[in-house]
Every structure is written in C-alpha cells, then in structure tokens.
C-alpha cells in the first residue's frame, strides 16, 4: 500500500510460501515476504523499511513523518510484538500446540494490548496521523483486518466503534482494493 500511495513503480511477484522460488531465496535467504529489490541494488526485507523507502521523501513525506511520533512508534512496537504473537495463536491455534492460554484469553489480551489503545486514539482523530493517514495506519491495518476476520460477528459486537470505522474506511479505500488484486505466480527471472 505504501508503494502505491507513493506512486512508486514496482513489479509484484506472487509467492507461494510453501514453494519459495530459488530467485527469491538468493535475493533474500531469510525467505519471508515482503522483499523489495530496489533499482540501486538495495534489498529490503521488512515492511517498515519498505514503507520508509517508499514514503520518506517527496510529496508523500508526510505519510512517513507523521508515523514517527512516539505514540505511533509505541503502537507499532505493540503491533509487531505482543499483538502479533496473540493474533497468530488466536488465528492459528493448531500451529501452536504448546500455547496454554485459551483462544478467548488470547483474544482478550490482544484487545487490551492494541485494539483498546487504538480505539482511544481513533476516538480523538480519524487516523493515526491525526487528521491525515500515515505509515502507521498502513502498518497496523492489515493485522487488525486479520484479527477482525477470525470471528467477524464477535468483533462487530465489541465496543470499538472508532476502530471499526477506521477499519471499514481502509477496507473500502481504492488503495486497499488496488493492492488486493490477485496475481498469478511468475518467475523473478522474467522481470
């Protein structure tokens, strides 16, 4: 979404993670997505680094600058740590047989850790950048979307009206719709 927002020209390669192409692994032995190989040869393997590369200069610099507040960086740290850990175990309990907390406890912890603070912030302003969206919105939105999708009826009944409005706005955005177009897998060698 950051690449699209910034108007960056890029090629997308749909990767089947259980069948990672050798070209991808040669580029990024870590084997995770996303991976960005810039025209000057730089390889970026983290979403936040890719967002910075896309947004930190030019007419979209505000998207990056607004994301650098202490509050936004704290939310991002919670999202990428505690919340993501709970989300993974809540969404995929079979992948974590050693997890002793019931799904309801994981769900409650995720709400307390991130969703309640997000709700409080979004009650003050429509975006995490205040009156305008920022990179923090783009970074956190996909994980909130995943969380809401596990038990949509339950999520709809929670006292999180500002968060639900924020999520609905992103889901309806042309930016999100543009990046959700399913592409056929293709080789990196053909780019």
For the chain, 191 residues long, the average pLDDT of each consecutive 10-residue run is: 93 84 89 90 95 92 96 97 97 96 96 98 97 97 98 97 98 94 65 49
Question: Using CB atoms within 10 A of its CB, is residue 157 exposed (0-12), middle (13-18) or buried (19+)?
Answer: exposed
What pLDDT score does 185 carry? Answer: 64
What's the CATH code of the domain at 10? 3.40.30.10
Per-residue burial over 70-91, b = 16 or more CB atoms within 10 Å of its CB, e = otherwise: eebeebbebbbeebbbbbbbbb
What pLDDT score does 14 carry? Answer: 82
Specify whether 151 is located in the same domain as 130: yes
Specify whether 147 is located in the same domain as 117: yes
Separation CA 164–CA 162 (nearest Å): 5
Specify whether 186 is located in the same domain as 131: no
Separation CA 59–CA 33 (nearest Å): 27
Give me the domain span that covers residue 157.
66-175
Enter the pTM of the model. Answer: 0.91
148: its two tokens: 């809401």
Specify whether 157 is located in the same domain as 124: yes
Specify whether 70 is located in the same domain as 13: no
What pLDDT score does 17 carry? Answer: 80
Separation CA 111–CA 153 (nearest Å): 15
């Amino acid at each position: 979404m950051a690449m699209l927002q910034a108007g960056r020209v890029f090629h997308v390669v749909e990767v089947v993670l259980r069948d990672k192409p050798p070209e991808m692994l040669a580029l990024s032995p870590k084997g995770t997505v996303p991976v960005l190989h810039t025209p000057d040869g730089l390889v970026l393997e983290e979403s936040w680094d890719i967002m910075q590369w896309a947004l930190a200069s030019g007419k979209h610099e505000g998207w990056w600058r607004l994301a650098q507040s202490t509050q936004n960086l704290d939310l991002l740290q919670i999202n990428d740590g505690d919340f993501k850990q709970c989300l993974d175990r809540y969404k995929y309990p079979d992948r974590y047989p050693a997890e002793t907390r019931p799904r309801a406890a994981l769900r409650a912890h995720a709400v307390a850790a991130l969703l309640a603070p997000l709700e409080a912030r979004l009650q003050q302003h429509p975006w995490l950048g205040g009156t305008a969206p920022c990179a923090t919105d783009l970074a956190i939105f996909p994980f909130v979307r995943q969380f809401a999708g596990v038990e949509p009826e339950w999520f709809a009944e929670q006292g999180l009206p500002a968060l639900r409005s924020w999520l609905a706005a992103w889901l309806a955005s042309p930016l999100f719709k543009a990046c959700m177009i399913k592409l056929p897998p293709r080789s990196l060698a053909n780019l």
